[in-house]
Structure 1
């Protein structure tokens, strides 16, 4: 798998897009276009990876093969930069085709990370024949789970599951399983804020295993490009949820390519003052700057408003809490927009 980031530099602004998606940049004053591309599990393990990269270089694309742990770090950056979790100890997991990345951390730093030689494609090819389009028996499914559990035991033991407060997972396979569950069991729910419960996942797995490959293509919400590998991904997902004692997970559409963007900005000295801000703070600041607020004035108003809030709280004029204080701060910062 190759992920790429295109950076367009101009005197006034920078814009970024995923090269392989075919998105175009059309801003005035462009001075140069920089492509940052990385290759992951499939290329890491390919016997002819050197030849493969040389062929890519002939097209002008210089691809860097990253390690599994570097992939995990970039995935962490991508997911954590798009959610508000503060200091909650969170587990971030991304199930790819050939590997699964597992990270624990909070909003501001990761605590531990690992990569597992487990992926939706890899597991499906090991246990499910390409030519066999029949149902997946309970015997085969449980065999896949035992293999998966054995491959992740050391990682699970090291990451101290008892302290985990939140679980945020990404990847196309996870998103698709959550979408199937939403269509079947959460009718009317928002596609934007997907949460997958373990009980719903079990029900979805039971249905998928009972169907032939062609029948799976008719399941509501399924991505037909994933019908042959989705059970392999489901095995990894269910096993991880069981081993980390997770009843539900939050599903994110962010991942490696978003992490590449954050990493690029950090390495080039961009937005370093925002690193320790929460996602909400960053969003408020960006909105304010878009509206050309006077930042010094806005910060002064916010400071005075918070001083009044805190002092009136001390003398029992109100019993409002941290969430109301946060809203007051952001309202004050944006009062002049």
Structure 2
């Protein structure tokens, strides 16, 4: 059975085509597609998505619909996150998208987003220790802590790479002072989880921030998922990377590191600082990089909800 999942975020719009087995509760990824329209750029709560962004989103969804049809998917699970949660015209935009493409999108809560992130990132790991899943998005960051299918803590925080970049990345300011301001602000946002003993055994970070950081730290010539997924970044490596990024312009970043996906170069420094504040505040020595996330979690949720119909 082929199934499609679409994650419409504040920075990216992602498509996963997978083959699932409900009896075995397994997922086999067949194809991933990535686009960076940055729907959340300069978007304030209660303000509308701009016409240019709407047109770009519709174009992406039309492209994705063709791919979905090519694979003969029997289900399409599309979800919208922070940008669509805060935009005043999201309902009208998604109605138009459904009329044009047939794709119906559910705008999910931050808590549900965190759960999907956790399911997508943690499913492949043993249930022998407590896992923290970090999902740094464009407009929000989700932290979920659990063991196996049991979740102990889950919350969506209003901080992301696009929003933090727009708040602090002012080119004529001293880089290190900007870094301190960003880190102090990030630490304040996450303060309720700092200092608590969750007994975290592994930290897993999903999305474009950790994958891009790994390509930069290891000087990869191009983005190759098999060389990134499941790899580790230490706190020392992250600090050294942030030391470098804070002094580079977006143009210098993408020129020096060709594996950085266009559209990431101006927000990766903000993402690095958010990761720095989380590792320091939670006293974590390192984190694992995952290329799986919400779009995988949506499918795993579908599998778990429907598997009992096919049990022997």
Taking structure 1 as the reference length, the TM-score comes to 0.68
Q: Check conservation: 2:139, 2:159, Cα contact below 8 A.
A: yes
Residue matched to 2:82: 41
Residue matched to 2:48: none
* Pairs within 5 Å for 1:52-71: 52-59=93-100, 60-71=102-113
State the distance in 2 between where 1:192 and 1:19 align. Answer: 14
1:80 to partner: Cα distance: 1.2
Cα 1:16/1:183, change in 2 over 3 Å: closer
* Pairs within 5 Å for 1:1-337: 1=9, 22=64, 23=67, 33-59=74-100, 60-84=102-126, 86-129=127-170, 132=171, 137-157=175-195, 160-161=196-197, 163-183=199-219, 190-220=227-257, 221-269=259-307
SS in 2 for 1:71: helix
1:3 to partner: Cα distance: 5.2
SS in 2 for 1:211: coil
The structure where strand makes up a greater share of residues is: 2
Cα 1:54/1:267, change in 2 over 3 Å: same
Q: Check conservation: 2:229, 2:289, Cα contact below 8 A.
A: no
1:194 to partner: Cα distance: 1.6
Matched pairs, number? 260
Cα 1:15/1:146, change in 2 over 3 Å: closer
In our comparison, the structure showing a higher alpha carbon Rg is: 1
Taking structure 2 as the reference length, the TM-score comes to 0.73
Q: Check conservation: 2:141, 2:156, Cα contact below 8 A.
A: yes
Q: Check conservation: 1:98, 1:122, Cα contact below 8 A.
A: yes
1:224 to partner: Cα distance: 3.8
State the distance in 2 between where 1:44 and 1:24 align. Answer: 25
The structure where helix makes up a greater share of residues is: 1
Q: Check conservation: 1:173, 1:230, Cα contact below 8 A.
A: yes
1:162 to partner: Cα distance: 5.4
Cα 1:136/1:181, change in 2 over 3 Å: farther
CA deviations on 1:181-223 (whole Å, 9 max, x unpaired) are 1229xxxx95444210111111111111112222112233433
Q: Check conservation: 2:133, 2:205, Cα contact below 8 A.
A: yes
Cα 1:144/1:82, change in 2 over 3 Å: same
CA RMSD of aligned residues (A): 3.2
Q: Which runs of 5+ in 1 are unaligned?
A: 274-337
Cα 1:150/1:137, change in 2 over 3 Å: same
State the distance in 1 between where 2:299 and 2:292 align. Answer: 11
